[in-house]
């Protein structure tokens, strides 16, 4: 007799790149298709995506893709997979809007998306019968899935928590989930990220009160930042601004697009007179303005980063302005960037409220231990599969499942490439594995950068590199002379001299715009500026290596 295969592409040893396969005989279905973020040592890498080798090899068996919610680590890799496959995608309305926008970003035609209502709809994806149900998370319109397979019903519940007062007013649909679980559940694959955190995860609702308290005391302009897909948090910021009669300015391309999508689809509802354009802000007093701005991870070149280095087109901050970070520096390598932005803002005299100030300005979207126990009690599966966490989270999840009554052999800590078979004879991890590696995306190249290339980039620093030698006067904190640009391996000899000379003069003009320069600011500005400069001039992006010399 055939067995159900649950195959992990990625997402069980890290919190990103979520991608899983359900397969029965000659039919298979994918759940989630997310990106990861490069580690600091992945020089020049833009994104990390799952290894689609097995899916592409078996694309004739693929019947569809289910997406659970609107975060990048669950949907961001779809455009890369759809270079090789073309199947229906199933998602809620807001998530469908985000997916269409993601494909437009890559210049791809919109995919076939079936939009469902998780409160009432059921549908088939090949041999699999799907009953979605609403869950609470930090972005609206998230769902879990009850998947009927020939081997039995499986619950697939990625990021969730039990928030009874969510911002969108739609809590975890516990009644529908309980009804779907009442006939018995073969297996539960669910979020393990909160398995090391005691208690229940707090409600998102509490954050609005915290933000309002800070905002009421502000005498000048307010800048509020969160991740662009966090529509619930953006809605809370809009609510606070409306209460305080401040005009809202949305700043940053990513956040502008997400707000436009959410408003168009009915997930953000506010007075049209509340918003003004960035260029209109100068008509209002600082005490009348509330900016919602992108750059909560401190990304170099983001709107908030440019504000922090006094380089934004419309916004300047000064003493007693307020900046509110509503989020943790979560992706790998982002904390250093956020720390830099925070420090620069504080140097400018700004009142910064961020993750170290212990003001509870961020609440996790992931259920803690009591949320996980609640889900265990609701579903009562025969087998348990932790997903969406690291190895330590999966181990803690396993101990929780065993405390709940599971035996050691009914909890499966899977890694990328593992195949779990479930059926009448039990559940077993097969000895063979499918291909599973982190595929690095560098510009237009997908998968052509590996560990050897990364090592070469780090050690050699000669090929494909522009070295900018910048002399700073440590007393005046100004540029001493025109930077020297030295290149290796990215431009042919005939064009080299004039291009690099012109780049040096252009970089000098850019650095002289800064009021004061220190080593870190000069390094960041030079890297950001030269990357854009060479891309514009010759459509190439060499590694930029600024060398700062204090004289």
Hey, what domains does the chain have and what are their CATH numbers? 4-200+364-441 (3.60.15.10), 205-357 (3.40.50.10710), 461-550 (3.10.20.580)
Convert the pLDDT of each residue in 305-315 to its tens digit: 999 999 998 89
Residues with catalytic function: 191, 366
Residue pair 155/146 in contact by the 8 Å Cβ criterion: yes
| pLDDT of 2 strictly over 80 | no
| pLDDT of 463 strictly over 70 | no
Convert the pLDDT of each residue in 428-457 to its tens digit: 999 999 999 878 675 544 544 444 444 454
Higher pLDDT, 364 or 102: 102
- For residue 343, the SS3 value is helix
- The residues pairing with 99 across neighbouring beta strands, listed in sequence order, are none
- For residue 494, the SS3 value is helix
Q: How many CB atoms lie within 10 A of CB 244?
A: 15
Higher pLDDT, 358 or 339: 339
Convert the pLDDT of each residue in 222-242 to its tens digit: 999 998 999 999 999 999 999
* Residue matched to tokens 């035609």: 109
Rounded average pLDDT over 544-550: 88
For a pLDDT cut of 90, what percent of the chain falls above it?
A: 71
Q: pLDDT value at position 43?
A: 53
241, 393, 521 from 159: Cα distances, Å: 29, 14, 37
Q: pLDDT value at position 364?
A: 87
| pLDDT of 215 strictly over 60 | yes
| pLDDT of 329 strictly over 70 | no
Q: What's the per-residue H, E or C state across 82-139? A: CCCCCCCEEECHHHHHHHHHHHHHCCCCCCCEEECCCCCCCEEECCEEEEEEECECCC
Q: pLDDT value at position 506?
A: 94
Residue pair 367/194 in contact by the 8 Å Cβ criterion: yes
Reading the block at residue 70, the tokens are 């609107």
Residue pair 361/325 in contact by the 8 Å Cβ criterion: yes
Give which of 157, 185, 173 is closest to 386, Cα–Cα: 157
Burial (0-12, 13-18, 19+ Cβ within 10 Å), 120: exposed
Residue pair 466/486 in contact by the 8 Å Cβ criterion: yes
| pLDDT of 491 strictly over 70 | no
Give which of 238, 244, 237, 253 is closest to 216, Cα–Cα: 244
Residue pair 48/80 in contact by the 8 Å Cβ criterion: no
Q: pLDDT value at position 48?
A: 86
Among the ranges given (10-19, 33-42, 169-178), the one the predictor scored with the smallest mean pLDDT:
33-42
Higher pLDDT, 520 or 244: 244
Rounded average pLDDT over 527-540: 87
* Residue matched to tokens 């004039």: 498
Among the ranges given (11-15, 26-30, 174-178, 184-188), the one the predictor scored with the smallest mean pLDDT:
11-15
Among the ranges given (39-43, 397-401, 411-415, 541-545), the one the predictor scored with the smallest mean pLDDT:
39-43
Q: How many CB atoms lie within 10 A of CB 313?
A: 9
Per the document, the length of the chain is 551
| 337: phi then psi, degrees, rounded to nearest 5 | -65, -45
Q: pLDDT value at position 540?
A: 77
Residues 6+ apart with CB under 8 A from 101: 257, 258, 261
Residue 152 is given by DSSP the state E
CA distance 218 to 434: 56
Give which of 283, 286, 437, 418 is closest to 351, Cα–Cα: 286
- Assign residue 246 a region (left: φ > 0; alpha: ψ between -120 and 50; beta: otherwise): beta
Strand order in the sheet with 247-251: 275-276, 247-251, 289-293, 222-225, 322-325, 351-353
Convert the pLDDT of each residue in 32-44 to its tens digit: 999 987 665 555 5
Rounded average pLDDT over 524-548: 87
Q: How far is CA 252 from the centre of its chain?
A: 16
Side-chain-side CA neighbours of 485 within 13 Å: the count stands at 28
* Residue matched to tokens 């409306």: 242
Q: pLDDT value at position 442?
A: 57
């Amino acid at each position: 007799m055939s067995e159900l295969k649950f195959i992990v592409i990625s997402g069980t040893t890290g919190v990103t790149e979520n991608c899983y396969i359900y397969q029965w005989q000659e039919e298979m279905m994918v759940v989630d298709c997310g990106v990861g973020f490069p580690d600091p040592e992945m020089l020049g890498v833009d994104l990390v995506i799952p290894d689609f080798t097995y899916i592409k090899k078996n694309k004739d068996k693929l019947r569809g893709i289910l997406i659970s919610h609107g975060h990048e680590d669950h949907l961001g890799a779809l455009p890369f997979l759809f270079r090789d496959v073309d199947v229906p995608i199933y998602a809620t309305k807001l998530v469908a809007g985000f997916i269409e926008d993601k494909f437009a970003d890559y210049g791809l035609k919109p995919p076939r998306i079936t939009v469902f209502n998780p409160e009432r709809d059921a549908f088939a994806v090949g041999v699999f019968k799907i009953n979605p149900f609403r869950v609470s998370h930090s972005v609206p319109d998230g769902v879990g899935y009850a998947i009927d397979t020939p081997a039995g019903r499986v619950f697939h519940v990625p990021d969730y928590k039990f928030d009874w007062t969510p911002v969108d007013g739609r809590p975890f649909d516990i009644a529908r989930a309980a009804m779907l679980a009442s006939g018995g559940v073969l297996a539960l694959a669910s979020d393990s990220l909160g398995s090391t955190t005691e208690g229940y995860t707090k409600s998102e609702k509490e954050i609005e009160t915290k933000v309002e308290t800070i905002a009421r005391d502000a005498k000048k302009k307010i800048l509020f930042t969160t991740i662009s897909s966090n529509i619930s948090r953006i809605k809370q910021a809009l609510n606070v601004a409306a209460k305080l009669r401040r005009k809202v300015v949305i700043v940053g391309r990513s956040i502008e697009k997400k707000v436009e999508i959410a408003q168009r689809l009915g997930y953000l509802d506010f007075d049209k007179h509340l918003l003004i354009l960035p260029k209109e802000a100068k008509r209002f007093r600082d005490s009348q303005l509330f900016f919602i701005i992108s750059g909560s991870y401190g990304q170099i070149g983001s709107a908030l980063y440019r504000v922090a280095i006094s380089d934004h087109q419309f916004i300047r901050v000064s003493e007693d302005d307020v900046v509110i970070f509503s989020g943790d520096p979560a992706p790998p390598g982002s904390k250093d960037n956020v720390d830099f932005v925070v420090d620069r803002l504080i140097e400018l005299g700004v009142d910064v409220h961020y993750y170290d100030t212990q003001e509870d300005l961020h609440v996790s979207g992931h259920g803690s231990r009591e949320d996980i126990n609640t889900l265990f009690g609701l579903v009562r599966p025969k087998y348990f599969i932790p997903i969406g966490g690291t190895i330590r989270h999966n181990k803690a999840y396993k101990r929780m499942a065993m405390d709940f009554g599971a035996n050691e052999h009914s909890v499966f800590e899977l890694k990328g490439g593992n195949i779990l078979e479930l059926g009448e004879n039990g559940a077993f991890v097969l000895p063979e594995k499918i291909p599973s590696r982190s595929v690095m995306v560098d510009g237009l190249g997908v998968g052509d950068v590996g560990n050897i290339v990364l090592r070469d980039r780090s050690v050699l620093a000669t090929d494909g590199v522009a070295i900018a030698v910048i002399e700073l006067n440590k007393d005046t904190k100004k540029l001493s002379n025109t930077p020297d640009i030295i290149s290796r391996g990215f431009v042919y000899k005939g064009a080299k001299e004039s291009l690099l000379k012109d780049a040096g003069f252009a970089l000098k003009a850019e650095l002289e715009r800064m009021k004061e320069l220190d080593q870190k600011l000069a390094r960041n500005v030079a890297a950001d500026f030269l990357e854009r400069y060479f891309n514009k001039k010759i459509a190439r992006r060499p590694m930029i290596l600024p060398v700062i010399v204090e004289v």
